[in-house]
Amino acid sequence: MRLRRGPTLSAYVWLTVAGIYFLLPLFATFLFSLNKNSTGKCCTVASYTWVIHNGDFWHTLKISLLLAVETIVVSLLLFVPTIYWVHLKLPRLRPVIAFLALIPFVVPPIIMVIGLLKVYKGSPDWFYAKPWGFLVASYVILAFPYTFFSLDAGFRSIDVHTLTEASQSLGASWGTTLFKVILPNIRAAALSAAFLTLAVVLGEFTIANLSAFHTFPLFLQYVNETQAYPAAALTLMSFGLTWGAMLSLLLVGRKRGGSGGVFGGAR
């Protein structure tokens, strides 16, 4: 019998290559962001100071984060019960929904936004003229594939029928079953859906731009076009902010004990 050894040399080589591939651009961006605006040479944190003291930065960031939270809440409220019901009562509908979920991948955002603007034209101002209405509706559609496939993997990893029937035989209503039994066991899948939705919303440019809403990606684009070094600083900061937001979601969603279902489909 061969004894299992530690990582081989080739593993270290590939890890190093992957590390360079991912970290080198970040490091180069970081070095670039430290350059002085006047001389173009190293080193100053002025670009970071400029970003932090810029009112538009905080304003657009706040809008994008609120949009992300709203999109996550609407998506989960809409899709958790739907996918639960499909798994429980209408399993033959699952491939149809999976197909529908692929459409936002196939249709380019520019086509989608034109279509959505036409569809919602004439809807009340509180919806059409506000990011909290129109943009969230669009983002729910845009994030649908990520939400569906994450939740679907979560539901497939548990025995939905048996857990539901066990809960009901003990006297639980549908609501209690969903919130006390099912939801805690697909928590990781719901978190996964939330992470992906957050990343989609924080990075979405086309729909916000064409529908004339000023969100964080638009501010990023504006700075990128006008100021090179602060743009690099902003890029790194937005990178860190996205990861920070995901980490916050993870900490909020974490709970002691239990198996917690799946994370993105893998048990």
Partner 1 sequence: MAYLELQNLHRDFGTVKALNGIDISLGEGEFLSLLGPSGCGKTTALRLVAGFDRPNRGSIVVDGKDVTNVAPSKRDMGMVFQAYSLFPNMTARQNVEFGLRIRGRDKADRGKRVGDLLELVGLGHAADRYPHQLSGGMQQRVALARALAIEPRVLLLDEPLSALDAKVRVQLREEIRRIQLELGITTLYVTHDQEEALAVSDHVAVMYGGVIEQMGAPAEMYTAPATPFVAEFIGTMNRLEATVTDGSQGDVEHAGMRLRVDAARGRRNGERVLVLIRPESLELEAATNGAAPNAFAGEVLTQTFLGPVTRLKVSGSGTNLIADMSTARAAALPVGARVIAKIPSEGAKLLSLPDDGPGLPVLDPDDQ
- The values of phi and psi at residue 266, to 5°, are -105, 125
Judged by CB under 8 A, the residue of 37, 173, 221, 248 near partner 1 is 173
233 binds partner 1 (CB under 8 A): no
Structure token digits, residue 237: 């900061």
Q: How far is the CB of 152 from partner 1 (least distance, A)?
A: 18
Positive or negative, the CA dihedral 57, 63, 64, 69 is positive
- Count residues binding partner 1 (CB under 8 A): 25
* Member of 78, 100, 165, 252 binding partner 1 (CB under 8 A): 165
State yes or no: residue 90 binds partner 1 (CB under 8 A): no
Intra-chain end-to-end CA distance of the chain, in Å: 29
- Output the CA torsion sign for 140, 142, 148, 150: negative
Binding track, positions 120-159, relative to partner 1; x by CB under 8 A: --------------------------------------xx
Q: Which of 131, 145, 154, 261 binds partner 1 (CB under 8 A)?
A: 261
User: Binding marks (x or -) toward partner 1, 17..56, rule CB under 8 A?
Assistant: ----------------------------------------
Asked if 213 contacts 260 with a C-beta cutoff of 8 angstroms, the reply is no
Distance CA 8, CA 16 (A): 13
CA-to-CA separations, 7 to 10, 15, 20, 95, in angstroms, rounded:
8, 11, 19, 41
Cβ 161 to partner 1, closest distance in Å? Answer: 9
Q: Contact residues for partner 1 (CB under 8 A)?
A: 158-159, 162-163, 165-173, 176, 180-181, 184-185, 187, 255, 257-261
